[in-house]
Structure 1
Amino acid sequence: MSAVTPGRCVKVRVPATSANLGPGFDTLGLALAEYDELTVEALAPGELDIEVEGVGADEVPTDESHLVISTIFYALQQLGFDKPGLRLRANNTIPHGRGLGSSGAAIVAGIVAAAGLVEDQQQVSDDTLLKLATTLEGHPDNVAPCLFGGLTIAWVTASGEPRSKKLMVDRGVSIVVLVPEETMSTSVARSLQPSQVPHADAIFNLSRAALLVAALSQSPELLFESTEDRLHQSYRAAAMPKTKELIDDLRAEGLAAVVSGAGPSVLVLCDDPADRLRAAEIAKSRTDTTWTAYLTAVDIQGATVEEVSKQTVSPSA
């Protein structure tokens, strides 16, 4: 085993993500321009110093069970390095438990930080980054856009290796995310999925998912029809009725609204920037809960890691 150089320090930035995008269940993901930022420094073995600001600061653990810390230790072990001491300073802005990939972002932050800490001794490939992140997250649809940015199509090969393809999103696509007060457990949301779906529903979603790739990459006018779904949203609706009602209201107005990830946030994909404000007003008019509108954009860089005082390095697409 090798040792991480004591005193080596890196800055990491990771974007929020929205997975599924309606019909692309466990396959399509989008990186969003909302970020967690962290600084990680290698210390002498046995030392641990964690400070968290922003979202979740009063809730996340400040010991080795902190997800970023445990991920760094895991990644370093897999890369052949001994466990160092660590100093972590985190500033979180990605909402937790809202379907915006906060856990995936923490995992990616840890993986990328580990790669940055050993960069002077070992170069870590994009395939390795994705494999490490997918192993911990369980599926690649959130971690792929978080790592690489843009719109990603993720899959697992017959031999079990995660893969992804990054696509650029058409400039005509505008985004608003509507985030409620309530949270949703991803495991709970997944438990509501049936083990089998009707053949007609599978065909329906195949066509919409293929169309959605075209809509996002070159034909935003097709966003509304391409975000129809029969595989997962209706089954999860009972667990988040306010989300379903808002989506119904938005789609009744011709807006391409879908559940963001496992929910309960709502992602609205627009081909007219003015529609973002219209969606925000519809959410604001509801009295069942408070919805916070994030008028955001597509992140095209993905995760970045920078050795302090050195030039920023980003995983390639």
Structure 2
Amino acid sequence: MSTDPIWEHPHDNEPEVPLTEDIAPGTANDPDAGSTEEATITIDGHRVETETGSTLLDACEAVETDGDVLALCSYDEHEKIGPRSECRTCMVETEEHGVIPSCSFPARDGMTVRTDTEAASEARDVNLDLLLSNHNLLCTTCGKNGRCELQDVSIENSVVEPRYGVMHDRDELEPIDDSSPFIQIDHNKCILCNRCVEACNDVQVEGVLRMEGSGEDTHIGFQNGMKTMMESTCVSCGHCATVCPTGALLEQGLVDATTLPVPGFTHKNSAEGIVGEEYEHQPTQMTPMKSDLDTQNEPLASEWPATEGDD
């Protein structure tokens, strides 16, 4: 009888893609960033009354502020996706605490907030430029062109060129994950807002996506440890692509749906590489997880009733 460890002899019926046993949440378990009581605060000279659970960003959105307060990491208050103080484009200045992120700071009674001070404006501009400098700015070859929130705020803030350079000056870009027939991942356009992770884990509760790495190596990854979307446990619901503010996550049908086409260029070749070219997409091809879910109760082809013309 062999004494070899069992892991040296994997079972033949073991699934090729290991399923996630425990779904790691996005921010569902994080403490509420809102206030614990109603408050009256002053924003750019305007008196604002806020409800329990409000943040300074909620208060800013209730009035016409002097400064343009952005919030790219916040998506929908009803779905509770964000904010996480990830993008830091919502900075404001308070008399009590100095420059702070308004999206995750509770609206406390008696606070005085300014959005147009030099310190607050510079903080927002610097953080927006940092996002742009780490983003593939070949907008005319992107399927999200004209629908990109980062593009919108850049235009609104009259950004001509990021002060810290642009990504396509680099020698090498990250390859696109084009393995899935439904959703494409372009890490060169990810701003690490975490919206997709929260949508996947806290809203859809599928437990597919997560943030991996640290520092400049931080990127979207998969909870089952695989390297491509096709190998993940994705069920192709598409919610991650819906909440993505840029072209980092995009439905395959919109990949080359550019509003300003450039002859000779496509979204795929703009990033100088594709991961998953070995997958030959068919219109009905599904990721392994989705395929298992949809076919587990279907009869085998040999059990289908015969139709006229069959031999």
- TM-score, normalising length from structure 1? 0.23
* Structure number having the greater helix percentage: 1
Q: Relative CO higher for 1 or 2, CA cutoff 8 Å, sep ≥ 6? A: 1
* Structure number having the greater strand percentage: 1
Higher-Rg member (1/2): 2
